[in-house]
Amino acid sequence: MLATIQYKSKKLQIDLSQPIDISIPLRGSKNNVNAWYVDAPVIKPAEDDGQVISVLEGACVNFNNIAFNPHAHGTHTECVGHITEKVHSINQNLKQFFFLAEVVTAAPEMLNGDFVISKKQLQSAIGNKKRDAIVIRTIPNTREKLTAQYSHTNPTYLLEDAAIYLREKGVKHLLIDLPSVDKERDECELKAHNAFWNTKGKLRMDATITEFIYVPNKVEDGVYFLNLQIAPFENDASPSKPILYKVIS
């Protein structure tokens, strides 16, 4: 189903019949993707006076409790409240949900023993394009990303100059297939987070970072229409479900 959408000053034709879900689902399993040294998420039936509230156990409904951390257990979208003393809510600050996005693929470079994504790489991938959102897929891009256990592995991260470049280019929404845009252990400097949200200047309250996405290999680099869906959590971050739609014209 093709739809013509007026987006800012442009008319875009997108294919609504072929949504591309780039989120990682949350499962109550040790095989759930994980980072930041926490246990696996738990999804299990609630109990009432010893009765397990599950249809399998004789109840009339399934009634599960869910325990998880949005930053550690899957695709999540966060606002500047993630790193400020005052905890700003993603639910209060993300007020628009459709954006023109560019999907780019980056091959991490080695720097001082770390794998990193640099400003130069993003400049080469994005060029003179103006986009509200940038979706970064790193390679190698295997399905192991759906179950990876990242704690103590020092994953790839974004260099500070890359985050500054995106901010200065006017990118409001950064999506990446890593547990963080910053190094796993950096003595709490969080250089990329701070640079992207401009914590040394006027805070970018409406800018977001979405981590732990997964962009399948069949998805080509290029322009897409992004629907950035979040759950209405009054928290610095929320589980999220970013959906891409191919722009036809």
Q: What is the pLDDT of residues 120-166, one digit of tens each?
A: 999 999 999 999 999 999 999 999 999 999 999 999 999 999 999 99
Largest CA distance in the chain: 63
| Residue 100 β-bridge partners | 225
CATH number of 2-34+69-246: 3.50.30.50
The model's pLDDT over 3-38, given as tens digits with 9 standing for 90+, comes to 888 888 888 999 999 999 999 999 999 999 999 999
- End-to-end CA distance of the chain, in Å? 14
The model's pLDDT over 73-116, given as tens digits with 9 standing for 90+, comes to 999 999 999 999 998 999 999 999 999 999 999 999 999 999 99
Residue type, 109: E
Q: What is the pLDDT of residue 160?
A: 98
Neighbouring residues of 215: CB distance < 8 A, sequence distance ≥ 6: 22, 103, 135, 137, 141, 177
Distances (CA, A) of 211 to 18, 55, 56: 23, 35, 35
Neighbouring residues of 140: CB distance < 8 A, sequence distance ≥ 6: none
Residue 167 has pLDDT above 90, yes or no: yes
Q: What is the pLDDT of residue 87?
A: 87
Q: What is the pLDDT of residue 238?
A: 98
Supply 95's token pair: 């007020």
Band (55; pLDDT cuts 50, 70, 90): very high
**Cα dihedral 244, 225, 240, 182 sign:** positive
Q: What is the pLDDT of residue 247?
A: 94
Where do the structural domains in the chain lie, given as residue ranges? 2-34+69-246
Rounded to two decimals, what is the model's pTM?
A: 0.96
Supply 204's token pair: 């970018």
Cβ pair 248, 14 in contact under 8 A: yes
Q: What is the pLDDT of residue 138?
A: 98
Residue 249 has pLDDT above 80, yes or no: no
- What mean pLDDT do residues 170-175 have? 98
Residue 71 φ/ψ, nearest 5 degrees? -75, -25
Neighbouring residues of 147: CB distance < 8 A, sequence distance ≥ 6: 31, 32, 33
- What mean pLDDT do residues 36-42 have? 98
